[in-house]
Amino acid sequence: MPVKTYWLEHAWLGTHVEPGVALTVSGGDSAAGGAGGRIAELRTGVQAPPPGAEVLRGLTLPGLANAHSHAFHRALRSLVQVGSGTFWTWREFMYQVAQNLTPDTYFALARAVYAEMALAGITNVGEFHYVHHAPGGAPYADPNAMGEALIEAAAAAGIRITLLDTAYLSSGFGEAPNRHQLRFSDGTAEAWAERVSALKPREHALIGAAIHSVRAVPAGQLGAVARWAEERQAPLHVHLSEQTAENEACQAAHGRTPTQLLADHGVLGPRTVGVHNTHLTDGDIALLGGTTTGTCMCPTTERDLADGIGPATRLQHAGSPLSLGSDSHAAIDLLEEARAMELNERLRSRTRGHWTANSLLTAATEDGHAALGLPDAGRLEAGALADFTTIALDSVRTAGPLPRLGAETAVFAASAADVRHTVVAGRHIVRDGAHTLVPDVPSALAESIAAVRG
């Protein structure tokens, strides 16, 4: 079994920054996205690199977990910033791009997007995947061709993926899918379950489930999706109360909030994550916290779409673990998402210090990986997956603070541009700021986006 040693100039160990850490990886250097590499040993107080060690100068963190992604939304960056509008007008642009996706074009786009994530220190992505079929709704010869393209794209970009295969059956409460949504729909939850059951996990890939939203899955079919996930002990994610219009429509149709409706049908629980959780009642917060249902905040997208600021502090205090996602990829920067969660709360409350830098990094690492079904990732300790990332402490953004303030520097000063190294399963995926598997990420992005914009 191959063994490799990394010497970390400074390492964040969950509670503090430690200088001079030697980290030994066993079973690393496997194929792209392979899961073999684990941390075999971690030694502190190592003041100089051991002979033959790979030197990582700066601050090394556990790999970042992007708990909510729609890879094809990356093609909307800047396009949807022309003029004004609402979430619902933004959605029309999204439909146009979705119509142009094929398994081949989606592979190329997702590979480039996941490579951008690796450059930002992300080692694991939760892909909330709902573009399943050909335009018009006909299945591909392989009914999971689109999901397989995403799994292969993650491998080609060298990161892990939890494919959250999404049930999307309705355009609204009791309404059939519109013409754009036909390629999202399997018709019924049972047909969705039959298709997704054919997907198999890989070394770098887990298979989870998602309910797009309470408007997109009829109430009577919510339980079927939840049971599929329960039987497999798989993660289950759901867009929840992102828009007030959805809350109002749910009340009109069912006399319940979306959270209450999910609770009625057995969707909530410790393997479930509500994405956004923006417009909640006191009772909703109590339900989510009491069932330890997670919350994935996506502050950059939430402010980009003018959704509002979710009650993250109240949810966490109630018992809902927090994770972070870049969602529509207006920016791919998990450090910015962590910073934005705190700064949004400061704007709303006009007080500071709702989370420590350590707590925000935990949401971006350990708790994010747990939300994606990887409780053995997101920590620098023996036995954990050997996924980590190093940020520079000598850039124009990060130079000056003492290294012992590395957590504060990472969250409140650094950006994705400061990532120098990303290691997945012990394998160097980003070295000195360059992707080792996708040599020209900007060109890959530009070419793949041009192919799907039409």
3-state secondary structure (DSSP) of residue 130: coil
Query: What is residue 49's DSSP assignment?
Result: P
User: Would you tell me how many other CB atoms lie within 10 Å of the CB of residue 278?
Assistant: 23
User: Would you tell me how many other CB atoms lie within 10 Å of the CB of residue 447?
Assistant: 13
Measured in degrees and rounded to the nearest 5, phi and psi for residue 392 equal: -70, 140
Measured in degrees and rounded to the nearest 5, phi and psi for residue 404 equal: -65, -15
3-state secondary structure (DSSP) of residue 194: helix
Query: What is residue 172's DSSP assignment?
Result: B
Q: Are 225 and 190 in contact (CB under 8 A)?
A: no
Query: What is residue 381's DSSP assignment?
Result: S
Q: Are 115 and 440 in contact (CB under 8 A)?
A: no
**Residue among 10, 68, 73, 276 flagged as catalytic:** 276
Q: Are 105 and 452 in contact (CB under 8 A)?
A: yes
Nearest of 142, 146, 151 to residue 132 by alpha carbon: 146
| Annotation says 16 is catalytic | no
Which amino acid, one-letter code, is at 42? L
> CA-to-CA distance for 246 and 167, rounded, in angstroms?
17
Q: Are 144 and 186 in contact (CB under 8 A)?
A: no
| Annotation says 237 is catalytic | no
Radius of gyration of the chain (CA): 21
**Residue among 165, 304, 327, 418 flagged as catalytic:** 327
**Residue 205 tokens, joined:** 């890939």
DSSP letters spanning 387-436: -EEEE-SSSTTTSSS-GGGHHHHHHHT--GGGEEEEEETTEEEEETTEES
Dihedral over Cα of 41, 42, 46, 49: its sign: positive
Strand runs (DSSP E) across 168-318, as ranges? 205-211, 236-240, 272-276, 294-297
Nearest of 247, 309, 254, 252 to residue 284 by alpha carbon: 247
Measured in degrees and rounded to the nearest 5, phi and psi for residue 238 equal: -155, 135
Give the residue numbers annotated as catalytic, written as ranges: 276, 327
